[in-house]
Amino acid sequence: MTHFELPIHWNDHEDIAMALYEKFGDEFDEAKIYRIRFTDLLEWVLSLPNFVGTREQSTEGHLEQIQAKWVYEWRDNQN
């Protein structure tokens, strides 16, 4: 039985952050996450397997929210 993953859209900030944390793990800590260039973050989001948004739909606001949620996800996994 295959595991069905729902498509991820730009406003699914928490899902994107969780996927980025799964991809990179502890390679990025809080300080490093906040220093990621938006151009890099955009490419990483677009490369996520279930992501269905487009480059044109990206906004600085989405990227800021994803960054913040990624930090929360990282913090939650430090226990």
So where are the chain's domains? 29-77
How large is the C-alpha radius of gyration of the chain?
Answer: 12
The tens-digit pLDDT sequence of the chain (79 residues) is: 455 678 999 999 999 999 999 999 999 999 999 999 999 999 999 999 999 999 999 999 999 999 999 999 999 999 7
The per-residue pLDDT for 5 is 76
